[in-house]
Amino acid sequence: MSQNSSDPVPLRMCTSCGGIQERDEHFCEKCGAPITQHAHSDYILGIHSRGFALHKATHDPRKFIVVLGTWLWVGPSLVLCLMLFFSGLVVLFQEPGMGGRIMVAAGAAGIWLFGTILYRTTSAWLVQRFGNSRASADQSEPEDQQDCLDCGKPFATTQTRCPACSWSYAVEYPKDDQAKWK
């Protein structure tokens, strides 16, 4: 069934960054967030979707539930890697061989990976939660702040453009259409 040119084209907007999607893609052109159901359900695209979620959780966990969810998701893997590492050490001391070395190496790699994820998520949330309140108390920042949807940095609600990246919430019309909209 072909689409008539008079039919409205559905507006596709990223729920993560607010960017308008020009093309019919599964991921946001601006921030890489999954925007279709297929991006979550497909086996290969789902890997990218889960990676995006983990990246967002480790770099910008806005709520404690994200930190708790990350601990519940990644924490058991860390515990298993700790058990593998220490079991490998026991095997190495009882009878040195390749099996114990592999267990120690795999356990150490898992501890490093999962420990890093949990450390980054928790520390990022703590900095957002307690670090920003200390900084705002010291610098007497205005309370009316908004986060830029492009770069994520806060700026005053009285400003129309983000001072860091110049992104604007205001709709900008082409110069030839500006006269029509005034």
Task: Show me where the domains of the chain are located.
Answer: 8-59, 60-124
Q: What is the pLDDT of residue 15?
A: 75
d(CA 108, CA 102): 10
Q: What is the pLDDT of residue 13?
A: 77
User: Do 85 and 103 form a contact (C-beta atoms < 8 A)?
Assistant: yes
pTM of the model: 0.56
Q: Measuring CA to CA, how many Å separate 172 from each of 77, 150, 155, 175? A: 48, 16, 20, 9
- 3 state DSSP class of 155: strand
With a cut of 50, which residues of the chain have pLDDT below it? 1, 9, 134-142, 181-182
Could you tell me the two tokens for 17? Answer: 């960054």
d(CA 12, CA 20): 6
User: Do 106 and 89 form a contact (C-beta atoms < 8 A)?
Assistant: no
Could you tell me the two tokens for 50? Answer: 């889960």
d(CA 55, CA 36): 18
In 24-63, alpha helices (H):
37-41, 43-59
122 burial class (0-12, 13-18, 19+ CB within 10 angstroms)? middle
d(CA 133, CA 124): 14
d(CA 21, CA 76): 37
State which H helix or E strand residue 145 sits in: strand 145-147
- 3 state DSSP class of 154: strand
